Structure 1
């Protein structure tokens, strides 16, 4: 099938509907449908969006005939990865559709990615450049939601999905898609590290269409060069060296000052202890003592119990990709798409959402 018309004809045949009935389903009268199938009239972007929605295909496939990499991953992976890939495929399909409708991913990669040297050093240099970008944008990793910051500064789509246990997240990268899918978690510090880890895969242009991380702390996995780089990036990104050296001071760390620093940076005490040991700011004995603390215990020591509870609540809450939600609604407002993709992202009934939007617009128009 080398043309859009041929692909649409194949979908009509597979649907079991007549051409007239199919046209009615997508809002085209018999005359327009006939002209579109004969080539006398081109299918509009709205037509394509409605066909894709009706037949559960992507606009990108209708235009190009090419299947995205996640479709292959969905067939070859199993177990705990299945739910993550299903979510990633859904979001990636919608992002590719938005690109074809004139709403591309606002991806902003780092400009100077010279990654010579060892993999850990590559990750640290990449983190330094990423932190510079965050500072230039006037944002901070210590305040606000990290997913929001990464979407704003780098333009990646970040989703949080209930994936059950045994899977931390994935990153997927293609021409039109830069996406991270995270698992909901009762350990916000682990979720935060995973997000930084997956961001590293995107920023480093790791040669993987889909990168699955069942356990970002798995020691066997960490021997892979791209994993070594991603872990080094996450540590340096979330625990910047200058902040750690400034916090150490001449007296070093007490349990109180260490717990406060872990809470300030929103990292696990074990990750912070290893980072301090790596920078030779503590010795091995102190590292062993401090890394035995849990994040919850550190919050209690630092008097941050309520703040930690809020972080746990936030980490257990699903989150649709914010940028993608923005773009799907913009496409609907511009008449380039239906309201259904936006409603699907929010997990609400499309008819109810339409009524609420119309009611709100009516209220705004009232004298």
Structure 2
């Protein structure tokens, strides 16, 4: 049945192109006789056949296979600017489709070990225990939740494709999970602590298997959303993941109830979280009093940076959090499929945002030997 659907859709593409079957095959860089046999059901379409047909026809491989598409976005008002949610879902759909196409071509995302999701205790306790298990597994594998750049750590250990994209205000991030893709998407922002918390928050949703499919977080700090069960657990997970109890106890030492504002500010910069997140976590662990918590949570990250003489580092952190980021493993796998002849160049070009011919020229130029022999020439 799947072959019948694929053949029918390939025929539809050929008819809509206005080309003969032979001309269509030639334009796609395929053998006309083999395509004819595939259309008659004598031969199976290969992954490269489908990749090239999809490229020429402007469709996805999944569409050719008759696979159901990703969740659709409700149509926006005519003439209106796309909302943050629409932008986020559109980008997530693009990445998830790329991952599904790669799986079909023989490049599935390798599975990663996932901690067991607790089912007993309060939602806060579940989130904390899930984070403790995640941190333990991460550190056992050589990763560090305190790494300045958290994105590659999450990608490498948890098998997640993580993207940072520019979005209108109104969406902090989303988590996407389906048969082929586990995706975290967060917005570029001038609030680096919020972005870092959102990454951990969305990881919590993925590990807890919340809302299989698409989980959208317009505002991770919204009080109404924070009361929802899955949000309560994800927020508890994020705080415990970014602020492991043993690390905090060691950092605070014997100061505890005598912790000064300057010492607290230094901890904010060390752990790269907001003063509010740190204050509540320290209070939850019994390391500071409720009075200290209320005093510390009123600080801003910028004020903490100024108190510790780290304004330059804070400015660099802001600049970094404002940059877009493609999922590195997805980029690597897409390029590998092209290099190994399983895909055309177009999927990689689409992923990195370049037209095919410009990218092809750049790749051809990079393969040329340096002028004047083996030694490269450098201009002063």
State the TM bucket, normalised to the shorter chain.
Answer: over 0.9
Take 1:122 and 1:41, find their aligned partners in 2: how far apart are those partners? 52
* Counterpart among 291, 297, 308 of residue 302 in structure 1: 308
**Higher mean C-alpha deviation, range 90-99 or range 2-11:** 2-11
In structure 2, the partner of 1:116 is: 120
In the alignment of these two chains, the number of paired residues is 365
Match of 1:251 in 2: 255
CA drift of 1:351 comes to 1.8
Counterpart mapping for 1:173-192 below 5 A: 173-192=177-196
Determine the C-alpha separation between the residues in 1 that align with 2:296 and 2:265. 9
Distance 1:170 1:345 in 2: 19
Q: Which residue of 1 aligns with 2:198?
A: 194
- What is the rounded CA distance, in whole Å, between the counterparts of 2:283 and 2:75 in structure 1? 43
Residue 356 of structure 2 corresponds to which residue in structure 1? 350
What displacement does 1:158 show? Answer: 0.2
Contact 1:45–1:336 (8 Å) recurs in 2:
yes
In the alignment, the residues of structure 2 paired with residue 247 and residue 165 of structure 1 have an alpha-carbon distance, to the nearest angstrom, of 35
Contact 1:74 1:86 in 2 (8 A): no
**Kept in 1: contact 2:174–2:216 (CA 8 A):** yes
- Alignment equivalent of 1:102, drawn from 100, 106, 114: 106
Q: Which residue of 41, 53, 61 maps to 1:59?
A: 61
Equivalent position of 2:273 in the other structure: 267
Shift of 1:246: 2.0
Is 1:131 paired with 2:135? Answer: yes
Q: 1:44 aligns with which of 43, 46, 67?
A: 46
Normalising by structure 1, what TM-score?
A: 0.93
Question: Structure 1's 288 and 352: CA in aligned 2 closer, same or farther, altered over 3 A?
Answer: same
Indicate if the aligned counterparts of 1:74 and 1:85 stay in contact, CA closer than 8 A. no
SS at match of 1:67: coil
The residue that corresponds to 2:377 in the other structure is none
Alpha carbons of structure 1 residues 354 and 274: separation in structure 2 relative to 1, 3 Å: same
Q: Any gaps of 5 or more consecutive residues in structure 1? A: none
1:299–1:305 contact (8 Å) kept in structure 2: yes
Give the alignment's TM-score, normalised by structure 2.
Answer: 0.90
Separation (CA, whole Å) in 2 of partners of 1:283 and 1:56: 61
1:73–1:210 contact (8 Å) kept in structure 2: no
Q: Which residue of 2 aligns with 1:170?
A: 174
- Paired with 1:201 and 1:76, the residues of 2 have a C-alpha distance of 27
